[in-house]
Amino acid sequence: MVGVFFRLVRRELVLALRGGIGSLMAVVFFVIAVTLFPLGIGPELALLSRIAPGAVWVAALLAALLSLDRLFVADHEDGSLEQLMLGALPPELVVLAKTLAHWLTTGLPLAAAAPVLAILLNMSADGLVILIVSLLLGTPILSLIGAVGAALTVGLRRGGALIALLVLPLYVPVLIFGVGAVEGAVLDTGVRTNLTILAGGLVAALALGPLAAAAALRMTTE
């Protein structure tokens, strides 16, 4: 079963990488979205460094949202999702494999690109490491919650916009604790509580997310 699981992850990664620039869309969007903040707010460095943690986190959250509508839809359209649901792997693990691949192709690159963007926004260097750590803990939660939203809307014609409406309210805690950790590092008020809560959220999302998403897939693909 472990072998099948990792073969599925590999398949998703290969599919994503062969998509060319499409697989990097999340990071490209992330970079462009962050550049919009100085253009909208003004180039004043003090102000930018004040908003940097929040701006980077909000942009990362929207970038993670961007690719969610393709998570199950492509496989649903060509029928392979049904085969996966019937296959040796329980649907919960199918969801987990696809979510892991989604995170490896979006969340991980986002965390890697974030420090550069934070420097563009004049964020103090104290926060950079914590920014990466908070994104590494937070973006998997975004992928897991997003998988539930994607599974709920998989057969629908206008699923894409609906996912945003379903998922964004559920992203609120991740955003708050993620930004809280980075601000704690920048202002030197402590990061431990925020990161611990994020880690706890990740464990809970790992346990519950695939269950909910698999239950939704059983209904939307039947």
Partner 1 sequence: MATRTQATTRRGKGGWASIHFFANPARFLRVARAVYPWAAGAAAALIVAGLVLGLYVAPPDYQQGDAYRIIFVHVPAAWMSLFVYVVIALCSIASLVWRHPLADLVAKSSAPVGAAFTLITLLSGSLWGQPMWGTWWVWDARLTSMLVLLFLYLGYIALHAAFDDPARGARVAAILALVGVVNVPIVKFSVDWWNTLHQPATISKIDSPSIDSSMVAPLLLMAAGFMAYYLTVLILRVRAEIASRRIRNLRLAQVSR
Residues in touch with partner 1 (CB under 8 A): 148, 152-153, 156, 158-159, 162, 165-166, 168-170, 172-173, 176-177, 180, 183, 201, 208, 212, 215-216, 219-220
User: For residue 43, what is the enclosing H or E element?
Assistant: none
Q: Which is nearer to partner 1, 55 or 212 (CB)?
A: 212
State residue 158 phi and psi, 5-degree precision. Answer: -110, 55
H helices of the chain, where?
A: 2-18, 25-41, 45-66, 70-77, 80-86, 91-105, 107-120, 128-152, 159-186, 192-220
Helix, strand, or coil (residue 19): coil
Could you tell me the smallest distance in angstroms from the CB atom of residue 15 to partner 1? Answer: 26
Q: Which is nearer to partner 1, 109 or 171 (CB)?
A: 171
Q: Which is nearer to partner 1, 41 or 162 (CB)?
A: 162
Could you tell me the smallest distance in angstroms from the CB atom of residue 189 to partner 1? Answer: 9
Could you tell me the smallest distance in angstroms from the CB atom of residue 177 to partner 1? Answer: 6
Locate 109 and state its tokens: 């690159």
Q: Which is nearer to partner 1, 25 or 168 (CB)?
A: 168
Distance CA 84, CA 207 (A): 21
Phi-psi region of 60 (alpha: psi -120 to 50; beta: other; left: phi over 0): alpha
Could you tell me the smallest distance in angstroms from the CB atom of residue 134 to partner 1? Answer: 14
Q: Which is nearer to partner 1, 86 or 165 (CB)?
A: 165
Task: Determine contact, residues 191/185, Cβ cutoff 8 Å.
Answer: yes
Q: Which is nearer to partner 1, 71 or 216 (CB)?
A: 216
Distance CA 203, CA 186 (A): 26
Could you tell me the smallest distance in angstroms from the CB atom of residue 16 to partner 1? Answer: 26
Could you tell me the smallest distance in angstroms from the CB atom of residue 216 to partner 1? Answer: 5
